[in-house]
Amino acid sequence: MTTTTDVSKRRKFFAQNNVYVPHVAVITEIIDETPTIRTFHFKFKDEKVQQEFNFESGQFGEYTVFGAGEATFCITSSPTRRDHFEVALQKVGKVTNAFHRLGVGAEIGFRGPYGNSFPLDFLKGKNLVFVGGGIGLAPLRSLIWNVADNRKLYDKVNIIYGARSPADLSFKYDLEEWAKDSALNMVTTIDRADPKWSGRVGMVPSVLEQVAPSNQNAVAIVCGPPIMIRFTLPVLAKLGFTPENILTTLEKRMKCGIGKCGRCNIGPVFVCKDGPVFTYAQIKSFVTGEG
């Protein structure tokens, strides 16, 4: 798989900086997505750093809440929108809980961007099928906006996104916008019927099967809870998608983000250095034990 990580841009970004020293960024907006997920918007305190900050869809950063610790999260916004950058965080541990206690104007540390990215050159001219569940839309969202902002470079775009309930749907404002865009086929679903919901009901893998996007010249980009991925992969196989044409991102296993701690390896691959974006062909044997 060819990735489009532009190493020289990242080197330039780090040129005056020790890789371990974070840049200070300020929270400029906070959006409550679900009862446990918030999206934070940031601008670097140093305007020059903000101007020079380049990243690609799929890359991640190491975020520090001073006094609480640091953790890696994907950048949720698109590099086509450079005024600020965003991260969506589910309250699950010490650092994310500390993040959720911060308000607009608070300062955090950011190191990065790290990792590879979604392979835009490989995706150009192709039909794209995004399959996301819950907070798994966060890394896909960067690429979806990137594609939407460069729509002519891609063929058909299907987005299938689901969550347990209407309240658990993230980025509702984006879902509405994508649904209105005739150049995108947006399908939103929830797992169980809900009196407040008049839309589609069904698990993401079943809805994918019903939508049945063509595998011709197509790539599926999947991110969501492990159970969703487990049931989505056989559906994609049934629809004719090969492991080489299924992409996913594995950010959750990372700690240091730069290949030092050894916490993120799956088999011989390091998620932080070799990923976080992989084709299913690259990780299939480590994930399923199949050769």
User: Binding ligand FES by CB under 6 A: which of 256, 266, 269, 281?
Assistant: 256
Please state the separation of Cα 171 from the chain's center in Å: 12
The one-letter amino acid code at 219 reads V
Q: Give the side-chain half-sphere CA count within 13 A for 26.
A: 11
Ranges of H-type helices in 77-170: 94-100, 120-123, 137-149
- Helix-helix angle 204-211:226-238, to 10 degrees: 20
Report whether 37 contacts 133 (CB < 8 A).
no
Which CB sits closer to ligand FES, 42 or 270? Answer: 270
Does 262 contact ligand FES by CB under 6 A? yes
- CB 109 to ligand FES: min, Å: 17
Distance from C-alpha of 93 to C-alpha of 70, rounded to nearest angstrom: 11
Does 272 contact ligand FES by CB under 6 A? yes
Question: Which range touches ligand FES (CB under 6 A), out of 11-19, 193-201, 205-213, 254-262?
Answer: 254-262
- CB 87 to ligand FES: min, Å: 17
User: Binding ligand FES by CB under 6 A: which of 123, 163, 228, 264?
Assistant: 264
- Across 216-262, the runs of DSSP E, i.e. the strands, are 218-223, 246-249
User: Binding ligand FES by CB under 6 A: which of 130, 145, 270, 280?
Assistant: 270
Which CB sits closer to ligand FES, 60 or 154? Answer: 60
Does 261 contact ligand FES by CB under 6 A? yes
Count of residues interacting with ligand FES (CB under 6 A)? 13
Report whether 57 contacts 117 (CB < 8 A).
yes
- Across 98-216, the runs of DSSP E, i.e. the strands, are 107-114, 127-133, 157-163, 185-190, 200-201
- CB 264 to ligand FES: min, Å: 3
- CB 271 to ligand FES: min, Å: 6
Report the sign of the C-alpha dihedral through residues 97, 101, 105, 108, in that order. negative
Report whether 91 contacts 119 (CB < 8 A).
no
- CB 258 to ligand FES: min, Å: 7
Does 19 contact ligand FES by CB under 6 A? no
Which CB sits closer to ligand FES, 195 or 262? Answer: 262
- CB 180 to ligand FES: min, Å: 39
Which CB sits closer to ligand FES, 202 or 259? Answer: 259
Which CB sits closer to ligand FES, 205 or 257? Answer: 257
Distance from C-alpha of 274 to C-alpha of 43, rounded to nearest angstrom: 28
Of residues 72 through 131, those in contact with ligand FES by CB under 6 A are none
Does 259 contact ligand FES by CB under 6 A? yes
Which CB sits closer to ligand FES, 85 or 270? Answer: 270
Cα torsion at 194, 200, 205, 206 (round to 10°)? 100
Residues that bind ligand FES (CB under 6 A): 254-257, 259-264, 270-272
